[in-house]
């Protein structure tokens, strides 16, 4: 559990003058990339952990080595508990780590730290949506990533057919409660949606991973590739400004307000993979917006409208 690792990483840092990501990875039995992300997470949360570049560099706590948590200031303690508190709400391991950390704090900080841990709750389900829980296979895949073991997957494609693959698991990504496995295959790097994994089995074969692989960097590249595919078709629409937020909920980052039209409506640029994808999202708007361009989207809207008229309008 990540919260447990963060506490362990902090205690390890306090026992040394300076540590490298490799040393922390060996101590926590995780990959170097995971150790580096944990160090960055501590720093981002406000803990005084800073990288020191150059020969003999690494990561260190400001103020040097400490054997307990008494060197944390009250704001730093609150920052750490804000970071791990939400995880502790859903994980027994994280709750145990949080209790140990709380006992290690100076008595004067404990009340604020405990309050910070209870200040945030993570609820992954949107209003009116089913609760999206973490797939059970995630734990197996995490273990395979950490232990460098190849995994045999039975994976369902979009069309429904299931195929077997032997993969080298490189890392997992939780994107808005949808999990993805980034892995090496005989055809190179591939990304698998974990909710399409029908079954998975960890093997005894040692997994290989490029020495320069960093999961966060790889994921940024994957997101860029996906976004480029999702934005192959653009359309310009005119809509009342009060409805722009609704369009943003439909198109996300592919909804950009370009300015104001002569009649006071917002001029908005939308993007999606195909003209049909845009038309399907706009068909329910009826006459509440106008599609200025391109003609291909207008034609798809006209076709969808004709289909609806043919099926539902009385003759």
pLDDT tens digit string along 169-180?
998 888 877 889
Residue 175 lies in a domain: yes
Residue 179 has what DSSP assignment? Answer: E
pLDDT of residue 230: 75
Residues 206 and 99 in one domain: no
Residue 118 has what DSSP assignment? Answer: T
Residue 130 lies in a domain: no
Confidence class for position 48, pLDDT limits 50, 70, 90:
confident
Confidence class for position 90, pLDDT limits 50, 70, 90:
low
pLDDT score of 75 more than 90:
no
Note the helical H segments in 21-136: 21-28, 32-44, 74-88, 92-104, 107-117
pLDDT digits 0-9 by tens, 197-241: 999 999 999 999 998 888 888 888 888 888 887 788 999 999 999
pLDDT score of 68 more than 60:
no
CB 206 within 8 A of CB 149: yes
Residues 200 and 258 in one domain: no
Residues 182 and 112 in one domain: no
Q: Which helix (H) or strand (E) holds 15?
A: none
Confidence class for position 27, pLDDT limits 50, 70, 90:
confident
pLDDT digits 0-9 by tens, 256-297: 999 999 999 999 999 999 999 999 999 999 999 999 999 999
pLDDT of residue 282: 95
How far apart CA 222 and CA 228 sit, in angstroms, is 10
Confidence class for position 185, pLDDT limits 50, 70, 90:
very high
Residue 196 lies in a domain: yes
Give pTM, 2 decimals: 0.54
Query: Higher pLDDT residue, 1 or 123?
Result: 123
3-state SS of the chain: helix, strand, coil percent to 5?
50, 25, 25
Residues 189 and 291 in one domain: no
Which of 117, 150, 181 represents a domain boundary (last residue)? 117
pLDDT score of 21 more than 70:
yes
Residue 27: left if φ>0, alpha if ψ -120 to 50, beta else—which one?
A: alpha
Query: Higher pLDDT residue, 100 or 315?
Result: 100
pLDDT of residue 87: 66
Range among 25-39, 63-77, 111-125, 138-152 with highest mean pLDDT value:
138-152
Six token digits for residue 144 = 């395979």
Which of 196, 221, 246 represents a domain boundary (last residue)? 221
DSSP characters for 131-163?
--PPPTHHHHHHHHHHHTEEEEEEEE-TTS-EE
Residue 59 lies in a domain: yes
Residues 247 and 215 in one domain: no
pLDDT of residue 223: 85
Residues 143 and 208 in one domain: yes
pLDDT of residue 65: 38
pLDDT of residue 71: 62
Q: How many other C-beta atoms lie within 10 A of the C-beta of residue 104?
A: 17
Beta bridge partners of 291: 237
Residue 83 lies in a domain: yes
Residue range of the domain that includes 20: 2-117
Arithmetic mean of pLDDT, 34-54? 78
CB within 8 A of 127, min separation 6: which ones? none
Residues 68 and 101 in one domain: yes
Beta bridge partners of 190: 183
Residue in the block written with tokens 């990483």:
9
How far apart CA 118 and CA 121 sit, in angstroms, is 7
Domain total for the chain?
A: 3
Residue 81 lies in a domain: yes
């Amino acid at each position: 559990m990540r919260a447990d690792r963060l506490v362990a990483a902090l205690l390890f840092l306090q026992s040394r003058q300076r540590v490298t990501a490799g040393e922390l990875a060996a101590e926590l039995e995780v990959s170097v990339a995971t150790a580096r992300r944990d160090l960055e997470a501590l720093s981002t949360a406000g803990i005084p952990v800073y990288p020191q570049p150059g020969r003999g560099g690494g990561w260190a706590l400001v103020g040097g080595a400490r054997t307990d948590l008494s060197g944390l200031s009250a704001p730093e303690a609150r920052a750490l508990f804000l970071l791990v508190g939400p995880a502790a709400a859903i994980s027994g391991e994280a709750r145990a780590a949080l209790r140990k950390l709380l006992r290690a704090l100076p008595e004067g900080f404990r009340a604020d730290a405990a309050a910070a841990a209870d200040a945030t709750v993570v609820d992954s389900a949107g209003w009116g949506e089913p609760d999206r829980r973490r797939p059970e296979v995630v734990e197996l895949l995490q273990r395979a990533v950490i232990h460098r073991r190849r995994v045999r997957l039975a994976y369902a494609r979009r069309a429904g057919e299931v195929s077997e693959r032997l993969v080298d698991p490189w890392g997992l990504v939780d994107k808005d409660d949808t999990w993805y496995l980034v892995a090496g295959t005989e055809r190179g790097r591939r990304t698998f949606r974990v909710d399409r994994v029908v079954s998975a089995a960890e093997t005894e074969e040692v997994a290989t991973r490029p020495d320069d692989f960093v999961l966060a960097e790889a994921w940024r590249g994957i997101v860029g590739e996906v976004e480029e595919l999702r934005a192959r078709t653009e359309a310009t629409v005119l809509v009342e400004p009060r409805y722009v937020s609704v369009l943003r909920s439909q198109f996300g980052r592919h909804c950009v307000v370009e300015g104001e039209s002569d009649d006071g409506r917002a001029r908005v640029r939308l993007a999606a993979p195909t003209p049909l994808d845009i038309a399907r999202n706009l068909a329910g708007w009826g006459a509440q917006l106008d599609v200025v361009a391109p003609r291909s989207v207008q034609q798809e809207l006209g076709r969808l409208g004709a289909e609806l008229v043919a099926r539902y309008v009385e003759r």
